[in-house]
Structure 1
Amino acid sequence: MDLECHVEAYPPPAIVWIKDDVQLSNNQHYSISLFSTADEFVDTTIRIITIEKRQYGKYICKAANKLGSDEAEVDLFESIIPVCPPACGQARYDGGAAAQITTSMALVVITVLLVFMHRNFISKH
């Protein structure tokens, strides 16, 4: 299962993935990648390599720079009967696992699984 986070921010942010209040890193269960697509755009993906009961739950994509921080979350849960797009709406189902996007952010656009956009302007500060 891949969870994607697309961030728009200036200056460039530090981006982390968090689950159960623990910052995640590359290991046998997770593979995290970051791609700078333009000066103000960064894409990050966390690939959940092993889908086990303990991998289900809330994942948080958090971006922060010197002007502030913001985050978005997605809930990964087990689906007994997989449902395939386009009938999925805001959830994506894949091989018995599903992800539901939830967020308190004002500006969120959902594409594949999770899209997270954040803009800080120097003129604000």
Structure 2
Amino acid sequence: MLVGRRPCWRQLQASFFRLLCLIPTGFPVRSVDMQRATDNITIRQGDTAVIRCYVDDKVSKVAWLNRSNIIFAGEDKWSLDPRVDLVNKGQLEYSLRIQKVDVYDEGSYTCSIQTKQQSKTSNVHLIVQADSLDGEEYLDISGIMRNQAGRYECKASNDVATPDVKYVNVVVNYPPAIKNAKSSETQVGRMGVLQCDAAAVPKPEFEWYRDDKRLSNAQGISIQIVGTTTVLMISNVTEEDYGNYTCVATNKLGIQNASLFLYRPGTGRDINGSACLSQSLWLLLASITCLLFKC
């Protein structure tokens, strides 16, 4: 009895294959009449690979091998891999199909054909391409400004698959900036409307003031806020309603205010949109000037 020696599985395979007369001595098989180089097949990871082999009616035995391991011997499957099967379209094709190809399937595949006169082989090298998962790319924006906010596109591509595209929304926070303040020229008894627009991120909160008094929704006064716009409406303007109003916009980063005027028709506005001084105010200034210069 021999101790410490075990038969090699590959040797058993080779011996069995030789008994089938499929492979001549000198395993792995070599073609005795084919001089062309090994064909290459490139397949994407996860796809199905079909490695073609064609025979004729004179073939007595045929087999598929991979790295000297038997996959199929005739119709008998030796491989335990459930992804592997044969494609037989009639009696003249003996192709090998591998589903859900992975990187470890890459390598040399041999279709061995035995006829009464000779044996020959067809060699194919399978190449599996896969996307790299360790690639990283960064976009650094130093001193970012609010006009650089928006959606940015990141695209990764290679020769294997269609590009993979992801989008990143960049939000730039900044304090309020009042960009539009509309005063109102309104007759007594009509509705006066003052409007204030502000740009800010986060969205601003608004307050309205008349002199130092904060205004709120009350009889005759309505305050509306829609997004970054606020509107102060006075439903029935009286003489007491004319004057200066202040719109205040705030968020966690800052505050800004703007002055608006509700004025009677005919008094006009200056180039900044503010109402001009009323006639009574001009008279007051004229009186003060006269006192100063001892008119």
For residues 258 and 202 of structure 2, the distance between their equivalents in structure 1, rounded to whole angstroms, comes to 19
Kindly report which structure 2 residues correspond to 1:20-31, keeping only aligned pairs within 5 A, or say none: 20-31=211-222
Aligned twin of 1:53: 239
Please say if residues 194 and 262 of structure 2, whose CA atoms lie closer than 8 Å, have aligned partners that are also in contact. no
| Percent of aligned pairs sharing the same letter | 32
| Alignment TM-score, normalising by the size of structure 2 | 0.26
Change over 3 Å in CA distance of 1:19–1:82 after alignment to 2: closer
Query: Measured at CA, do residues 74 and 16 of structure 1 come closer, stay the same or move farther in structure 2, by a change above 3 Å?
Result: same
2:223 corresponds to which residue?
A: 32
Aligned residue number for residue 114 of structure 1: none
Whole-angstrom distance in 1 between the partners of 2:240 and 2:267: 19
Runs (4 or more) in structure 1 with deviation over 2 Å come to 88-91
Aligned length: 84
d(CA) in 1 for partners of 2:237, 2:210: 14
Runs of 5+ consecutive residues of structure 1 not aligned to the other structure? 37-41, 92-99, 103-125
Q: Specify the code of the residue in structure 1 equivalent to 2:255.
A: S
1:63 aligned partner? 249
CA shift in 2, pair 1:21/1:89, >3 Å? closer
Q: 2:246 aligns to what SS in structure 1?
A: strand
Q: Any unmatched runs of 5+ in structure 2?
A: 1-191, 276-295
Can you list the C-alpha shifts for 1:36-85, whole angstroms capped at 9, x where unaligned?
1xxxxx11101111211111111111001111100111122223x488xx
Once the two structures are TM-superposed, the CA of residue 90 in structure 1 deviates from its matched residue by: 5.5
Structure index of larger Rg? 2
- TM-score w.r.t. structure 1 length? 0.59
Instruction: Return the match for 2:274 from 86, 98, 101.
Output: 101
- Opposite residue 202 of structure 2, the aligned amino acid is P
Q: Which of 185, 190, 198 matches 1:7?
A: 198
Query: How far apart are the structure 2 equivalents of 1:19 and 1:90?
Result: 22
TM-aligned CA deviation for residue 29 of structure 1:
2.1
Equivalent of residue 43 in structure 1, options 217, 220, 229 = 229
- Provide the C-alpha distance between the structure 1 equivalents of 2:271 and 2:238, rounded to a whole number of angstroms: 22
Q: Alignment partner of 1:27: what SS?
A: coil
SS in 2 for 1:9: strand
Determine the C-alpha separation between the residues in 2 that align with 1:56 and 1:64.
26
Amino acid at match of 2:209: I
Query: Which residue matches 1:95?
Result: none
